């Protein structure tokens, strides 16, 4: 399917690994020019090289996204290289386990800085270019904003705010034909998820318990399935979709998990 993304410039934060990598690769396959932003230069370049070797177009920007200046750098590098920005995928973040009891006011604010602030900062700095292109923003959220998890106040607050900002920005940007949507994953097998599971003393049992509660097919969502929805939302095929929070989770968040 031609999604109309050829030569569109798409920034993907955390675009070198996991869900972000899947989004970067799929958007590149559809002809988009990918700007990968993340803190690890080696990871960025590995994915950039893979995309370019496959016939796509990509570049990497090493950035600590919790710093506003680095967010501006990402936008400046993209514009210097390509002269435009058509879309922003806010994806970077980590479930850092800053809980109500286990954390502290300082750790809570740091979690917001690392998981939320760059969504706003990148959108702010990219906005003139998104307006010019009648582009769009896709935010990657989390089911934790709806379900809670326990012991992750900073991450949950960040993801709840992302849902609210999606609706707020969609309203604010309607006059400029800039669309804003969010994709919500639940249980997705990524390198970060694998590291977390393997850190548990009963990792196999815990994984089996989680998978058993995913209603559709009793399996985890793949990064490619999150990427498929994200790239669709980036494309002209979803040209009249804005302000939506879309769950790609096998029914985990909303369906009765007792379904057998």
Catalytic site positions = 155
The secondary structure of residue 174, as a DSSP letter, is: G
Which tokens hold the place of 196?
A: 């977390």
Closest by CA to 249, choosing from 168, 147, 177, is 147
Which tokens hold the place of 192?
A: 């970060």
74 Cβ contact partners less than 8 Å away, ≥ 6 residues apart: 11, 13, 35, 37, 61, 63, 65, 122, 125
Closest by CA to 235, choosing from 65, 36, 89, is 89
CA distance 16 to 18: 7
Strand partners, 57: 33
CA distance 152 to 142: 12
How would you classify the pairing of strands 87-90 and 9-13? parallel
Which tokens hold the place of 189?
A: 């097998």
Q: What's the maximum distance between 2 C-alpha atoms anywhere in the chain? A: 53
């Amino acid at each position: 399917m031609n999604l109309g993304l050829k030569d569109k410039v798409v920034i993907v934060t955390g675009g070198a690994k996991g869900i972000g990598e899947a989004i970067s690769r799929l958007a590149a396959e559809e002809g988009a020019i990918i700007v990968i932003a993340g803190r690890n230069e080696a990871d960025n370049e590995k994915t950039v090289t893979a995309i370019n070797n496959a016939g796509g177009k990509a570049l990497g920007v090493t950035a600590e996204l919790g710093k506003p200046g680095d967010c501006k750098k990402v936008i400046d590098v993209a514009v210097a290289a390509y002269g435009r920005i058509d879309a922003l995928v806010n994806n970077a973040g980590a479930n850092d386990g800053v809980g109500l009891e286990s954390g502290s006011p300082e750790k809570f604010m740091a979690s917001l800085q690392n998981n939320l602030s760059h969504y706003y900062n990148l959108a702010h700095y990219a906005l003139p270019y998104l307006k010019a292109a009648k582009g769009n923003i896709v935010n990657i959220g989390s089911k934790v904003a709806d379900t809670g998890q326990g012991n992750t106040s900073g991450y949950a607050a960040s993801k709840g705010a992302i849902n609210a900002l999606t609706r707020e920005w969609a309203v604010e940007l309607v006059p400029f034909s800039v669309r804003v949507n969010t994709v919500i994953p639940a249980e997705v097998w990524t390198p970060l998820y694998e590291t977390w599971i393997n850190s548990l003393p009963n990792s196999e049992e815990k994984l089996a318990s989680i998978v058993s509660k995913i209603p559709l097919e009793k399996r985890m969502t793949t990064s490619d399935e999150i990427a498929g929805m994200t790239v669709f939302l980036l494309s002209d095929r979803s040209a009249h979709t804005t302000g939506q929070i879309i769950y790609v989770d096998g029914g985990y968040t909303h369906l009765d998990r007792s379904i057998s």
